[in-house]
A and B are shown apart, each in its own frame.
Chain A
Amino acid sequence: MSPSLDLEALYEAHASALFSFVMNLTRSEADTKDCLQEIFCRIAAKPALLERMREPRAFLFQTAYRIVIDQHRRRSVRERHGEDSEPLFASAANPDAENFRRQTETALAELPEDQRAVVHLKLWEHLTFEEIARILDISANTAGSRYRYGLDKLRTLLRPIYEEIK
């Protein structure tokens, strides 16, 4: 047991990014909270899990992704689709920007989960394909192609609103 692990500092440093990533995958605040809770409980019980890691955030994303996959396996498709979608991005004062935000959330929900994970880590965490590949346990080429497929789909879905506000 390592008393040196500062859970509060860990929470301050990573909870926001983890929240956003998991919310994008689950679209449910309740599931996101369960996931975050599980991550911090695992680390609290076995701090050595994290201490061996050179990149704690990558390890946390990887753990979060695995927990989300497990959550989804335990549930039926009907249960997942029945969930209300929670906001992913902060509301904007400008009506056009607000409309773009809402449509982006809807478009993201249409991406398969594996593409959504890559798109999120690339666009909002600014990770490289190599880093994403390590987190999702795939090759860098796969990460790259999933990103391109996902982005192309977003581009198609958001083209009308994007052309309007550009």
Chain B
Amino acid sequence: MKDSFEEHLSKLQRTEVPSHWREEILTQALRERSNSTIFAQEAGNFWTRFFGPHPLAWGSLAALWVLIAVLNFAGPHDAQLYAFSGPAPTLQELTLQLQTTLLAQGR
């Protein structure tokens, strides 16, 4: 609910946009629009030119990458490759036995 002071203020008439701005602003905006359309088209054209002439070659390369990725995921993982196994525990056991013997001999 506005009081009389607010009502009085809100009755002030705002100035209008200078009329010559309309053409200048819209011309610049339309130029911007066509520039961005041209850019989008050129970007599209670039990829068409890049991939277009040899679709079979690019398709094969993509398939090869997919195959490499599949093999990579299907094979043993790093953790499995480097998992501790075999002789190392034996070596530890021997070291422990030696230390125990030395201690028992009081050295």
Contacts and interface: CB of A to CB of B under 8 A. Distances in A.
Interface residues of A, number: 35
B6 interface: yes
A59 interface: no
A83 B36 CA distance: 34
B107 to A, nearest CB: 78
A61 to B, nearest CB: 14
B8 to A, nearest CB: 7
Contact of A151 (B6, B15, B26, B36): B6
A44 B21 CA distance: 16
Contact of B37 (A1, A16, A20, A23): A1
B40 to A, nearest CB: 6
B81 interface: no
Contacts of A154: 9
B103 interface: no
A63 B15 CA distance: 21
Interface in A15-60: 15-16, 19-20, 23, 29, 33, 36-37, 40-41, 43-46
B25 to A, nearest CB: 5
A101 interface: yes
B56 interface: no
A88 B25 contact: no
B14 A124 contact: yes
Q: How large is the interface on B (under 10, 10 to 19, 20 to 34, 35 or more residues)?
A: 20 to 34
Chain A binding site: helix, strand, loop or mixed by DSSP? helix
B26 A8 contact: yes
Given A40-B26, A104-B9, A124-B10, A19 B16 contact: yes
Interface string A81-96: 0000001111000000
Nearest to B2: A123
Given A7-B30, A19-B17, A46-B36, A40 B12 contact: no
Contacts of B25: 11, 15, 33, 36-37, 40
A36 B21 contact: yes
Contacts of A44: 29-30, 32-33, 36
Count chain A CB atoms within 10 A of each CB in B9, B10, B26, B28 and give the residue with the most: B9
Interface of B: 4-6, 8-10, 12-18, 21-22, 24-26, 28-30, 32-33, 35-37, 40
